[in-house]
């Protein structure tokens, strides 16, 4: 009786580990479904929208200007940010906030990207914390 329960428990544990690993590989290397929250990408992405993330483009380095990406926040690695890629390395971007009269420009350094939210008035993005390293990007949004 006891041996039966033990056997069943081990089998259940084995299946859980196996499916957990398959889920990890799928999310890490292919993509998955994410829920976005926050107003910084309105009107493109609303609060609590469900989006499909594609991680293959991160691994093949095919993220382009204009893509919406999800990245780890540079000031808090445990939370994620969802913004649009405005500039890749080497591009010239405008760094001043919209209220400044004098516009200043700078070049995006090697290995970094410049992100901005679509809702420019209500978005903390690269205009606030500067360009972020490419290594922080987790994936590109392909469907909503």
Partner 1 sequence: MAQARDLGRRYIKAFLKGFFVAVPVTVTFLDRVACVARVEGASMQPSLNPGGGQVSDVVLLNHWSIRNYEVQRGDIVSLVSPRNPEQKIIKRVIALEGDIIKTIGYKKQYVKVPHGHMWVEGDHHGHSFDSNFFGPVSLGLLHARATHILWPPRRWQKLQPVLPPERKPLLTEQE
Could you list the active site residues?
Answer: 40, 83
The structure tokens 């989006």 sit at 51
Q: Does residue 133 interact with partner 1 by CB under 8 A?
A: yes
Whole-number minimum distance, CB 69 to partner 1, in Å? 13
| H runs (alpha helix) in the chain | 2-29, 56-59, 126-129
Q: Does residue 118 interact with partner 1 by CB under 8 A?
A: no
Query: What dihedral angle (degrees, nearest 10) is formed by the CA atoms of 94, 95, 96, 102?
Result: -50
Q: Does residue 134 interact with partner 1 by CB under 8 A?
A: yes
Strands (E) across the chain are located at 31-36, 49-54, 68-73, 76-87, 92-94, 105-107, 112-116, 132-133, 137-143
Q: Which region among 4-12, 14-22, 35-43, 116-124 touches partner 1 (by CB under 8 A)?
A: 14-22
Q: Kindly identify the residues of this chain, within the stretch 59-98, that bind partner 1 according to CB under 8 A.
A: 61, 72-78
Contact residues toward partner 1 (CB under 8 A) are: 17-18, 20-22, 24-25, 28, 61, 72-78, 109-112, 132-136
């Amino acid at each position: 009786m006891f041996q039966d329960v033990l056997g069943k428990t081990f089998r259940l544990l084995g299946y859980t580990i196996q499916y957990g690993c398959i889920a990890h590989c799928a999310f890490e290397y292919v993509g998955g479904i994410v829920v976005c929250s926050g107003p910084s990408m309105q009107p493109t992405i609303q609060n609590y929208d469900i989006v499909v993330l594609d991680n293959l483009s991160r691994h093949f380095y095919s993220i382009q200007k204009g893509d919406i990406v999800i990245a780890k926040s540079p000031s808090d690695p445990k939370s994620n940010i969802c913004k649009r890629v405005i500039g890749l390395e080497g591009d010239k971007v405008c760094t001043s906030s919209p209220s400044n009269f004098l516009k200043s420009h700078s070049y995006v350094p090697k290995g970094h990207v410049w992100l901005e939210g679509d809702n420019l008035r209500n978005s903390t993005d690269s205009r606030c914390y500067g360009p972020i390293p490419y290594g922080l990007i987790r994936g590109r949004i392909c469907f909503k």
